[in-house]
């Protein structure tokens, strides 16, 4: 059964989407079947994997049904069955990597969920993913920079929460809020199934004093939940977001690919045979 990981930090621009995309690509590279779920109406992950379809105005306003359904309809109609959910899943240009895209019309989803006054608002995504998770090794959920009903759905649906941070005080605040939300959900709803996988630094400038100081504080604060692997600032990460190519095709030897590969190894979420594939790819093993 697939492991479900939410990538969350309610601070914007910390690298949630880039991390989701590259981690998904690397997991798919090892031969795992991976599903990305875009929960953000900004739809950056859908764009990254070329699965974005722009909404005409009547669709944006929910006055007309779209030609292609996406994450919006999964929430709107509370899809549970395989027949309803499978048409939302799109193949991407990366082998083994699939996605449920988002689009602008998804911006109405949170208000709509609350306005319907139905019960079980927090577990809509969990119930949908439960139907299809057998078909994947990993399901990665990219979240908007928010702490709303969609984020809560994401946490409820997940086995793990992963939080990228940048080296600044505001990102740390986002991390604290994410941890508080998880604790609140666990306490309030008696959910034991989700745990905090950890946090890591993105867009790191490793030679600065600020980086070294804050890395030390994070390690003191979080212990083993603070990954020692950071993701270096790397222009190739921004470039793939404008040319829409897989990073492993465009720049397989770039720093970010090396760093995210090390991060997956440090997170220790893969079975041994898949770990060997990654360790071999970055020269940490001489054979597979």
Ligand X SMILES: Nc1ncnc2c1ncn2[C@@H]1O[C@H](COP(=O)(O)OP(=O)(O)OP(=O)(O)O)[C@@H](O)[C@H]1O
Measured CA to CA in angstroms, residue 132 lies from 4, 10, 15, 75, 251 at distances of 11, 27, 27, 15, 32
Is 270 within 8 Å of 264 (Cβ atoms)? Answer: yes
Regarding 145 and contact with ligand X (CB under 6 A), the answer is yes
Regarding 201 and contact with ligand X (CB under 6 A), the answer is no
Q: Which H or E run includes 90?
A: strand 90-91
20, two tokens: 């989701």
Taking the C-alpha atoms of residue 221 and residue 5, their distance in angstroms, rounded to an integer, is 22
Regarding 231 and contact with ligand X (CB under 6 A), the answer is yes
Total count of residues recorded for the chain: 288
β-pairing verdict for 34-38 and 97-100: parallel
Which of residues 48 and 281 has its CB atom nearest to ligand X in the complex? Answer: 48
Beta bridge partners of 140: 5, 36
Span near ligand X by CB under 6 A; candidates 14-22, 75-83, 107-115, 208-216: 14-22
Per CB under 6 A, the list member of 38, 69, 73, 234 interacting with ligand X is 234
Regarding 101 and contact with ligand X (CB under 6 A), the answer is no
Per CB under 6 A, the list member of 3, 16, 76, 106 interacting with ligand X is 16
CB of 245 vs ligand X, minimal distance in Å: 14
225 binds, among ligand X, Mg ion, none (CB under 5 to 8 A by kind): none
Per CB under 6 A, the list member of 6, 18, 163, 178 interacting with ligand X is 18
CB of 11 vs ligand X, minimal distance in Å: 7
Regarding 202 and contact with ligand X (CB under 6 A), the answer is yes
Span near ligand X by CB under 6 A; candidates 15-23, 105-113, 207-215, 278-286: 15-23
169, two tokens: 């005080």
Beta bridge partners of 37: 100, 141
CB of 102 vs ligand X, minimal distance in Å: 11
Regarding 203 and contact with ligand X (CB under 6 A), the answer is yes
Regarding 40 and contact with ligand X (CB under 6 A), the answer is yes
Regarding 17 and contact with Mg ion (CB under 5 A), the answer is yes
Which are the contacts of 159, defined by CB distance < 8 A and separation ≥ 6? Answer: 3, 4, 5, 193, 194, 195
Per CB under 5 A, the list member of 4, 11, 15, 16 interacting with Mg ion is 16
Name the 3-class secondary structure at 49.
coil
Per CB under 6 A, the list member of 13, 58, 252, 271 interacting with ligand X is 13
Per CB under 6 A, the list member of 30, 44, 158, 261 interacting with ligand X is 44
Taking the C-alpha atoms of residue 231 and residue 19, their distance in angstroms, rounded to an integer, is 9
Which of residues 19 and 85 has its CB atom nearest to ligand X in the complex? Answer: 19
Beta bridge partners of 99: 36, 90
Name the 3-class secondary structure at 122.
helix
Q: Which H or E run includes 161?
A: strand 160-165
Regarding 10 and contact with Mg ion (CB under 5 A), the answer is no
**What residues line the site for ligand X (CB under 6 A)?**
12-18, 40, 42, 44, 145, 202-203, 231, 233-234, 237-238, 241, 256
């Amino acid at each position: 059964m697939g492991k479900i990981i939410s990538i969350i930090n309610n601070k914007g621009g910390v690298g949630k989407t880039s991390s989701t995309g590259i981690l998904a690509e690397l997991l798919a590279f090892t031969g795992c079947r991976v599903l990305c779920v875009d929960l953000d109406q900004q739809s950056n992950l859908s764009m990254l994997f070329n699965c974005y379809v722009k909404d005409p105005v009547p669709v944006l306003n929910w006055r007309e049904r779209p030609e292609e359904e996406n994450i919006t309809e999964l929430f709107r109609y509370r899809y549970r069955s395989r027949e309803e959910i499978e048409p939302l899943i799109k193949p991407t240009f990366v082998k083994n990597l699939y996605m449920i895209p988002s689009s602008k019309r998804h911006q109405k989803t949170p208000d709509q969920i609350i306005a319907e006054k139905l019960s079980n608002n927090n577990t809509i995504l969990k119930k949908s993913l439960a139907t299809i998770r057998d078909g994947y090794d990993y399901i990665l959920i990219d979240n908007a920079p928010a702490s709303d009903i969609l984020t809560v759905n994401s946490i409820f649906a997940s086995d793990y929460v992963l939080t990228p941070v940048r080296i600044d005080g505001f990102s740390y605040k986002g991390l604290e809020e994410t941890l508080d939300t998880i604790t609140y959900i666990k306490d309030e709803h008696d959910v034991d199934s989700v745990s905090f996988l950890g946090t890591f630094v993105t867009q790191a400038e490793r030679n600065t004093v600020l980086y070294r100081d804050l890395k030390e504080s994070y390690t003191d604060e979080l212990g083993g939940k603070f990954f020692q692997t950071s993701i270096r600032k790397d222009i190739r990460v921004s470039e793939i977001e404008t040319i829409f190519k897989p990073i492993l095709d465009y720049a397989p030897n770039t720093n970010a690919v090396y760093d995210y590969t090390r991060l997956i190894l440090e997170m220790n979420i893969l079975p041994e045979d898949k770990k060997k594939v990654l360790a071999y790819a970055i020269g940490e093993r001489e054979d597979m």
